Amino acid sequence: MRGDPTAGFTNRVSSNQVVLYWHCTRPEPGILRVEGVAHNPWSSQGIRFLEFDLVGVDDRDRQVSATSAALPAALLWTNEVSAFRLDLKTAGTETRFDLYYQYRFNDANGRIFAGPPGAGARRLAQQLRRFLVRDVCSETQHLIR
């Protein structure tokens, strides 16, 4: 991939481990596309199983449309970038679109072990982290400045 893979996107949001860049388009009537990249710019540990849920919400805050996607790779290592795309078939009554994203990550500082105490192999448990980007296609929020 040549150049800056985050260039050309209009929106950005970040958690402690991952940064998302995206833009929203309407490639055809009744379809909303959220297309972008996920970037792990600083975490030395891999981001595991990054998944997305895009939901359309009506004026009564009820979900009226939804779609899901996941990164193709199970792990996103330090300085890696991976593309994502969500195509949502809209109901026509949406007043906003919200993006939920989640991944598994183990904070190296706070070790959490899975399995019974005692002798034997121990595994680090991966904590599920879930976030909400409210009004993901807003013309005034989440903009790259």
- pLDDT exceeds 90 at position 123: no
Closest CA to 94 of 132, 68, 131, 55: 55
Does position 24 have pLDDT exceeding 70, yes or no? Answer: yes
Q: Which domains does the chain have, with CATH numbers?
A: 11-133 (2.60.40)
Which pTM was predicted? 0.84
Is the separation of the CB atoms in 104 and 70 below 8 Å? no
Nearest to 55 by CA among 23, 93, 83, 26: 93
pLDDT band at 127 (very low <50, low <70, confident <90, very high): confident
Query: Residues 103-112: what's their mean pLDDT?
Result: 67
> Can you give the pLDDT at residue 1?
47
Q: What is the pLDDT of residue 124?
A: 55
Give the residues across from 48 on adjacent strands: 75, 104
